């Protein structure tokens, strides 16, 4: 006996058609300029960011001292946020520091969107730095790498004021930020690689970079979560913390 199939509602057909037209238009626009596609991707990141950011802020510890939009370089986008546990800030302690580079396919995302997540990491006893960099297509390679290196230099110069131990640095990042972070680590450990991109090697000594935490996809960290999002942006960042602690030990 054959099953009857209900006809697709006109509104649904029109929605699908409109989506296809938009996608085809964005693809065609790449022949002229990458900007329309970049704007579309940026819009998608901004749509999901507020709800996720609000959940993270609700779960973040309250006693975190924050410095917002500290300039690390003269360029317009060169700003960073600092998160330090309140007890460490009051006692003047110098903490190991996690420098986190946000993701967003190089064209979207922001340090503000992951502020709650960085607060959660700080709540585990770290100073945490969230770095803003110039997004594509305005910021072309290797601009973000140069900016991250400048940020590393800045926090080492101002380590005492920011409650940072400049000899215990972990570079970290998610998605595009992981790629930028990995390239910065390569420049630090092999300064010859810095010459082609005209980047200044920031760490005082190679040993200052004690570790690297990249979250491009789910890693084998003993986490029972089924998805990358649950593993790396959970209610508590247990997997990321485990990786960082092992590298600082």
pLDDT in tens, 18-29: 667 666 666 766
* Percentage of the residues of the chain whose pLDDT score is greater than 70: 67
> Where in the chain does DSSP place strands (E)?
64-71, 79-85, 95-101, 127-131, 164-174, 209-215
Q: Is the pLDDT of residue 12 over 90?
A: no
**Which two tokens mark 7?**
């006809």
pLDDT at 228: 36
Residues 226-245: pLDDT tens digits?
Answer: 433 334 444 445 555 555 65
Q: What is the pTM of this model?
A: 0.75
Q: Does domain 10-248 have CATH number 3.40.1350.10?
A: no
Residues 97-148: pLDDT tens digits?
Answer: 999 999 988 988 899 989 999 999 999 999 999 999 999 888 888 899 999 9
| Domain extent listing, the chain | 10-248
Distance from C-alpha of 32 to C-alpha of 89, rounded to nearest angstrom: 51
Q: Is the pLDDT of residue 42 over 50?
A: yes
Distance from C-alpha of 7 to C-alpha of 20, rounded to nearest angstrom: 20
User: Cα–Cα distances in Å, from 119 out to 47, 216, 219, 237?
Assistant: 22, 20, 22, 10
């Amino acid at each position: 006996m054959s099953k009857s199939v209900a006809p697709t509602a006109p509104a649904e057909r029109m929605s699908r058609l409109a989506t296809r037209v938009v996608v085809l238009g964005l693809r065609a626009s790449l022949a002229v300029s990458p900007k329309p596609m970049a704007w579309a991707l940026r819009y998608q990141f901004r749509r999901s960011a507020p709800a996720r950011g609000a959940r993270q802020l609700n779960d973040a510890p309250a006693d975190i001292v924050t410095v917002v939009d500290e300039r690390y370089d003269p360029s317009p986008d060169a700003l960073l946020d600092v998160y330090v546990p309140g007890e460490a800030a009051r006692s003047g302690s110098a903490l190991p520091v996690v420098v986190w580079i946000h993701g967003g396919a190089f064209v979207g995302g922001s340090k503000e969107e992951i502020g709650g997540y960085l607060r959660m990491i700080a709540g585990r006893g770290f100073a945490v730095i969230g770095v803003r960099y110039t997004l594509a297509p305005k910021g072309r390679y290797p601009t973000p790498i140069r900016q991250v290196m400048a940020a590393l230099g800045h926090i080492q110069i101002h380590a005492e004021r920011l409650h940072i131990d400049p000899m215990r640095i972990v570079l970290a990042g998610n998605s595009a930020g992981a790629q930028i972070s990995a390239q910065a680590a390569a420049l630090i450990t092999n300064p010859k690689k810095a010459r082609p991109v005209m980047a200044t090697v920031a760490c005082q000594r190679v040993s200052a970079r004690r570790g690297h935490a990249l979250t491009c996809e789910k890693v084998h960290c003993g986490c029972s979560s089924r998805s990358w999002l649950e593993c790396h942006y959970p209610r508590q960042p247990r997997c990321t913390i485990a990786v960082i602690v092992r590298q600082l030990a």
